[in-house]
Amino acid sequence: EIVLTQSPGTLSLSPGERATLSCRASQSVSSSYLAWYQQKPGQAPRLLIYGASSRATGIPDRFSGSGSGTDFTLTISRLEPEDFAVYYCQQYGSSPITFGGGTKVEIK
Amino acid sequence: EVQLVESGGVVVQPGGSLRLSCAASGFTFDDYTMHWVRQAPGKGLEWVSLISWDGGSTYYADSVKGRFTISRDNSKNSLYLQMNSLRTEDTALYYCAKATASGSLDYWGQGTLVTVSS
């Protein structure tokens, strides 16, 4: 099983600042089958990034993903008020599919 | 518009059984792999199971293998999760989700709450 470790657990930032979230895998993620999701309180997760770096439909270009192998990054270039949420990475290249523990981006 | 609507969540005693349903609309259901993902109260996401477009392939998390069974009825655009031998640690909000062709999950329902408690 591929274990995904997200860091930091909590990121305290102000609107307009840059957010950098990390997702590290215990083994190489096959063919960059790595996705990022955003979840707000009381809502279902929303797909942001798939294939490590491709934005999902309707996702603003301030969200970007990068990385390969075992190290992946989600960057939010300038935080908007609606971006404060919990973010999860997920690998779907090998079974079982696994999620990281999440990073909470909170308002400083 | 893609819609996924889960139902069937209730309070059940440990050792009990339950069947969750997910009604899909707005896309060609039998073209896509479908998943169940759960989230315990205040916790992160945990993948539970997936089923291929034709039901021919199924996969499970180790935590539910042998107790849960995923199935689908493409004639009814519906996904199911039969849950047996329920444990308190199965308490969670259960989401159904549609997979893209590459495997990420692009649409999610709002979830149905399963509480396992005596």
State pLDDT tens for residues B10-19: 999 999 999 9
pLDDT digits (tens, 9 = 90+) for A41-80: 999 999 999 999 999 999 999 999 999 999 999 999 999 9
Inter-chain residue contact A90 with B95, CB threshold 8 Å: no
Inter-chain residue contact B104 with A100, CB threshold 8 Å: no
B47 phi, psi to nearest 5 deg: -70, 140
Asked if B60 has any chain A CB less than 8 Å from its own CB, the reply is yes
Chain A residues with CB under 8 Å of B61 CB are 96
CA distance B26 to B95: 17
Minimum Cα–Cα distance from A48: chain B residue: B106
Inter-chain residue contact A96 with B62, CB threshold 8 Å: yes
CA distance B59 to B94: 16
Residues sharing a CB contact under 8 Å with residue A60, sequence separation 6 or more, in sequence order: none
Which of B46, B99, B100 lies nearest to residue A99, judging by beta carbons?
Answer: B46
Inter-chain residue contact A56 with B95, CB threshold 8 Å: no
Q: In this model, does residue A98 exceed pLDDT 90? A: yes
Averaged over B56-68, what is the pLDDT?
97
